[in-house]
Amino acid sequence: MKVTQEGLSKSQRIQMYDVIYKEADALIKKANPCKFKDGKCAEARRTGKPVYFGAPHCCGACRYHGKNGCRVKSLGCKLWTCSRFRLDYPELCIKLDELQKLAYTLDIYLYIRQSKRYAITRIKHSTYRFTGYH
Ligand code: SF4
Ligand code: SF4
């Protein structure tokens, strides 16, 4: 995708939301940092305690959490890492941080615990001025 002086159009930014999400998802699937076992993530198993709001992972009490995991494409959540994940997977985190930086540069909003629909609605209603890559 070509980025001009004017930056990306809103529809290109929406496309980039999916591109960045797909890349982050592939990196995470390959490394499997959360290592779920019997419904508990690595951090819950390490501490022997719930992680968030009584749940054995960090999606506790989220309205989008279903029996098969996340039901929405939340890019903010996809690029978020807990401290254990960050300590154990530094190289993966560098790649995820690069994707996060790209998202910010393109003014793609990263909301935690929000759906793709919400993020995209914000893009559609935004006024965006591309200031170049940082
Ligand atoms: S990011 Fe951390 S707390 Fe969240 S599911 Fe993965 S290991 Fe668990
Ligand atoms: S939106 Fe975020 S917190 Fe909610 S289920 Fe999806 S990944 Fe988990």
In the chain, where the domains are located: 10-32+72-124
Nearest-CA residue for atom 5 of ligand 1? 57
Q: Amino acid identity of 133? A: Y
Integer distance in angstroms from the first to the last C-alpha of the chain?
Answer: 18
DSSP structure class, residue 72: S
Distance (angstroms) between ligand 1 centre and the Cα of 53 equals 13
Give the span between the Cα atoms of 114 and 37, in whole angstroms.
25
pLDDT score, position 134: 47
User: Which residue has the least CA distance to atom 3 on ligand 2?
Assistant: 59
Question: For the chain, how big is the Rg over CA atoms in Å?
Answer: 16
Residue 60: half-sphere exposure toward Cβ, Cα within 13 Å: 13
Buried b (16+ CB within 10 A) or exposed e, 60-89: eebeebeeeeeebbbbbbbbebbebbeebb
pTM for the complete prediction?
A: 0.90
In tens digits, the chain (134 residues) has pLDDT values of: 655 556 788 899 999 999 999 999 999 999 999 999 999 999 999 999 999 999 999 999 999 999 999 999 999 999 999 999 999 999 999 999 999 999 998 889 899 999 999 999 988 887 766 566 54
Ligand 2 test: best mutation among 51, 72, 75, 109, most atoms within 8 Å of CB?
A: 72
Residue 80's Cβ-side half-sphere holds a number of Cα atoms within 13 Å equal to: 13
**Cα–Cα distance for residue pair 48/18, rounded to 1 Å:** 35
